[in-house]
Amino acid sequence: MTPTIPHDAGALLDAHLALIGTDIERWLALFTEDAVVEFPYARSLGVPERLEGIAAIRGYFAQTPKHFLGLAFTKVRRYLTTDPELAIAEVHGTATIAPTGKPYAQDYVFFVKARQGRISLYREYWDPLPGLEAFGGTRNLRRMVDAS
């Protein structure tokens, strides 16, 4: 059975928040085949700042539910736009990082652009320091990314 996919960017953003920590394959179904994922601050950590295409996105995020245990998003603040194909939100995320057992807390800003009812561009802004602390340093963080 093909999952039902929302058609506007706001609903796609909500589906992203619901699926990213639990079901990567259903989450990937939200994206176009040529989707782009960007992390503008990732360069400071030595991890990819841009993923192009569903295969690259799958490779990077495949292990997310195993590494970010209990990933939950709260304090969701959505910003309405006049464009149904653009969604912007501020979100607080929490999890336990499996390799270290440390708590992770992060404030994010998400931009989601939709095309024909799927995510074509997903941009995620976050502070690099909470990730470094929770993963126990740059080496552990890179090891996790490289293992994906």
Q: Which domains does the chain have, with CATH numbers?
A: 9-147 (3.10.450.50)
pLDDT by residue (tens digit) across 120-148?
Answer: 999 999 988 887 788 786 565 555 655 55
pLDDT tens-place string over residues 60-100 = 999 899 999 999 999 999 998 899 899 999 999 999 999 89
DSSP label at 145? H
Q: Which two tokens stand for residue 13?
A: 């953003």
Strands (DSSP E) found in the chain:
31-38, 50-52, 68-79, 86-97, 102-115, 118-126
